[in-house]
Structure 1
């Protein structure tokens, strides 16, 4: 892609490019039905109704206005500052040939910059570790985080989110030689890797549900792949979309068992930045309708045949 963008790297990780051998998936997307049924609450403004399983998934009504303070700050600066991952193959990674940043999330950031600033390359990328995503927004270090970030009720208390742009779920990734078959008792005594501050990390904190596994923490989810390759851990729990990317890099690992939950990725922003949330939702409304399928085919085809794009729902 080779875009002329400025990148500041806050953390480093190995990028291991290997043969693309990935598990397939169905083109159907039942997770969207679960989202619509209220199992996940999405894109709420700080003053919206409480986050609960009975609420419909809604985002802020899109707006193309540039008048808000948060959007104006970006326009006056002349660039969008985006927190990203540089080590997630397919999503956000550095091309080892030319050093350019590429992936599904990277293209989404360029779409945001194009709409807000009229220039897709008016971006400063900051590589933000998983555990620092929220603090980077709260401190004003970045305007947006576009980093396969799952929308959760707890996170909605700390940051604002766009409507979802991808549906996923946690799953277990293991070496093909492993006897672990999923998130079950075959994990007893195993060393399981999870990124600090990730959904998997939260899941493994419950001793009643960890199946006797020991948690091994890393800064970024790709570090788990390195730890598995070194033999320091026996399994990884991560988003299946990210796990599929790791399997693309190393064909000796694969996903086992089924998805452990229903998750959706959103663009995260500072809590209360409603004008920016509406502007991002405006971009996503068009991105989901006209660009999403092409982006999936370009980057995420190894995950399986192209599913329908998430259907945005707006209110308020």
Structure 2
């Protein structure tokens, strides 16, 4: 049995569906790994944990691996070993369908007339202004409240994870729209306890196979399910893994 650390209540990554079963893109990848290990995608036990428990759970052998939208950073790489990336995250702008603004370009052109809601933190203003230099910034105490500000039209757009934008526009197409712009990109990867290179190599092999090999149809279907994007099939005979990552991240490398 594969023991996987993950979260709950964070669609489209890891949550429980209406049947009470684990769902989300992280969950799908964990099942692909279980299939690679046991030829059975159901042979996986999910351990729900807070984000700050991801590293301790690995180091104390509570889990075999984390699939929990974990951003690769140099500091974290001193404590755990990361797999190859499986998603390129970033910040997106969620808009109300009833907004008078059409997309990112109209938000940008509106200058100081635009108000953007965002999760409160010390870099929030700088982050928003990197995309919309003249926008007013409305800092709120949770991402849920940043989204609610878009619902109530207190904000013209909400600066939230790009994957959240994709998920909400899929689930509520009559309510939300995507501005079409993303920035502040970062990689998501699985993480394992340091020191077992055979295990890490196996994980990487399974992920690479999923992102362009025999398990590609499963990866492609799950990606479309949770992000609303149908990925182009990697061309046969094309060996460039970096370009492969470009095709599987919501934000493309430039």
- The answer on 1:114 being equivalent to 2:35 is yes
- The answer on 1:246 being equivalent to 2:171 is no
1:292 corresponding residue in structure 2: 216
Shift of 1:100: 1.8
Shift of 1:240: 2.2
Q: Quick one: distance in 2 between partners of 1:202 and 1:146?
A: 27
1:151 corresponding residue in structure 2: 72
296-305 or 179-188: which moved more? 179-188
What are the within-5 Å matches in structure 2 for residues 9-88 of structure 1?
A: 78-88=1-11
Checking the alignment, whether the CA contact within 8 Å between 1:86 and 1:94 is kept in structure 2 is yes
- Report which structure shows greater RCO (CA 8 Å, sep ≥6): 1
Q: Quick one: distance in 2 between partners of 1:228 and 1:208?
A: 15
For residues 29-49 of structure 1, what are the alpha-carbon distances to aligned partners after superposition, in whole Å with 9 as ceiling and x for unaligned? xxxxxxxxxxxxxxxxxxxxx
Match of 1:303 among 228, 241, 250: 228
98-107 or 181-190: which moved more? 181-190
Match of 2:83 among 133, 150, 162: 162
What's the TM-score once normalised by structure 1's chain length? 0.56
1:103 corresponding residue in structure 2: 24
Q: Quick one: distance in 1 between partners of 2:229 and 2:154?
A: 30
Residues 1:275 and 1:298: Cα distance change in structure 2 (over 3 Å): closer
Q: Quick one: distance in 1 between partners of 2:92 and 2:170?
A: 16
- The answer on 1:124 being equivalent to 2:45 is yes
Q: Quick one: distance in 1 between partners of 2:9 and 2:99?
A: 28
Q: Quick one: distance in 2 between partners of 1:142 and 1:79?
A: 8
Shift of 1:281: 0.7
- The structure in which a higher percent of residues are helix is 2
RMSD over aligned CA atoms reads: 3.8
Checking the alignment, whether the CA contact within 8 Å between 1:104 and 1:295 is kept in structure 2 is no
Q: Quick one: distance in 2 between partners of 1:139 and 1:204?
A: 34
- The structure in which a higher percent of residues are strand is 2
Structure 1: tracts of 5 or more residues without a match? 1-77
Residues 1:291 and 1:143: Cα distance change in structure 2 (over 3 Å): same
Shift of 1:112: 1.6
Match of 1:204 among 124, 132, 137: 124
- The answer on 1:213 being equivalent to 2:141 is no
